[in-house]
Homo-oligomer: A and B are copies of this chain.
Amino acid sequence: MSILVVGSVAFDSIKTPFGEVDEVLGGSACYFSTSASFFTDVSLVAVVGEDFPEEHVDFLQSRNIDLAGLQRSSGKTFRWKGRYEYDLNEAHTLETHLNVFESFQPELPENYRDAEYVFLANIDPELQLEVLQQVKNPQLVACDTMNFWIEGKKEALIKTLARVDILAINEAEVRQLADEPNLVKAARIVRDFGPKTLVVKRGEYGVLMFGEGSIFSAPAYPLEEVFDPTGAGDTFAGGFIGYLAATRNFDEHNLRKAIVFGTVMASFTVEKFSLDRLKEIDYAEIEARFRRIKLLTDFADID
């Protein structure tokens, strides 16, 4: 029940109204795998440069993450610099240096090819497809994407989506991908591209999950201190897919619980910079917050 994740490992420099950090550990594959590691085993495929310190390798290994697929290339690790204003829903990118990520060719170690669960983080949809071609018989394939690929590589993306079970993307990207402003209609169009399950991420407004004849709405966990939203989406995906892989059950009932576990994990990530908050928590805290989301949404049916 190991999950294979392909994505980025990065150094992030971030400024929010509440603080500032320089070159901290980030990237979709880091957030996803750390989050998923609370539920199941994870194998990571990504690339870093010669400047990637042992300390970060040690941390990921301490979370039991298999790093056989972590390539080390000559050059520098991917760097992102961003800023958030009080509206923490919107990141303003100041600098992006792809560095070794620019020529990243995901290659799966032999033992990764039996992965039952695959998460294709937000990378070039052509690379996402190449990864899928290397996996023998996945039980569940989930993926993320972004406006950049919807604009620039829509055809390749749609080819990838045909082989994907679960797509988790932002609300604006659903509308953009479907070319339809109404979200319910847009969800139907996107599901017709392939993914039976569409997870619409809405930041502080939570998540909508569209399945066959059903919609599930989950709120975000209301926090007094949202420190830095970087990585929230990938942390969400890690909890979501992590719980599904751990329970090996993809029915609607379990998908909903998985969405709430994803919501819980994301709520921790945004409380501190980088993976700092995820480094502190244990499974009891995850369950406690799950129960608080249950209390947050519960109401009695009509008698």
A291 proximity list for chain B (CB < 8 A): 301-302
Assess the B217–A222 pair: CB atoms within 8 A: yes
Chain A 180-235 residues near chain B, CB threshold 8 A: 181-185, 202, 204-206, 208, 214-219, 222-226
Chain A 259-303 residues near chain B, CB threshold 8 A: 259-260, 287, 290-291, 294-302
Assess the A257–B205 pair: CB atoms within 8 A: no
A55 to chain B, nearest CB (A): 33
Assess the B302–A217 pair: CB atoms within 8 A: no
A279 to chain B, nearest CB (A): 23
Check: A256 CB closer than 8 A to any chain B CB: yes
Number of A residues near B (Cβ < 8 Å) is: 40
Assess the A299–B257 pair: CB atoms within 8 A: yes
Within 8 Å by CB of A223, from B184, B222, B297, lies B184
A298 proximity list for chain B (CB < 8 A): 256
Chain A 61-82 residues near chain B, CB threshold 8 A: none
A243 to chain B, nearest CB (A): 11
Assess the B224–A184 pair: CB atoms within 8 A: yes
Assess the A222–B215 pair: CB atoms within 8 A: yes
How far does the alpha carbon of A74 sit from the alpha carbon of B287 in the complex, in Å? 64
Closest to A286 in B: B302
A297 proximity list for chain B (CB < 8 A): 216-218, 297, 299
Closest to A203 in B: B205
A219 proximity list for chain B (CB < 8 A): 206, 208, 217, 219
Assess the B300–A86 pair: CB atoms within 8 A: no
Assess the B260–A296 pair: CB atoms within 8 A: no
A225 proximity list for chain B (CB < 8 A): 182
A61 to chain B, nearest CB (A): 29
A247 to chain B, nearest CB (A): 11
Within 8 Å by CB of A287, from B182, B257, B290, B302, lies B302
Question: Which 7 A/B pairs are nearest by Cβ-Cβ distance?
Answer: A217-B219, A256-B299, A205-B205, A86-B181, A184-B224, A294-B301, A184-B222
A-B contact pairs, 9 of them (CB 8 A): A202-B205, A205-B205, A206-B217, A206-B219, A208-B222, A253-B299, A257-B300, A257-B302, A291-B301
Residues of A within 8 A of B (CB): 17, 86, 181-185, 202, 204-206, 208, 214-219, 222-226, 253, 256-257, 259-260, 287, 290-291, 294-302
List 20 other contacts, CB 8 Å, given A217-B222, A287-B302, A290-B302. A183-B204, A183-B222, A184-B222, A184-B224, A202-B205, A206-B219, A214-B295, A215-B222, A215-B296, A216-B297, A216-B299, A253-B300, A256-B298, A256-B299, A256-B300, A257-B300, A259-B299, A291-B301, A294-B301, A297-B297
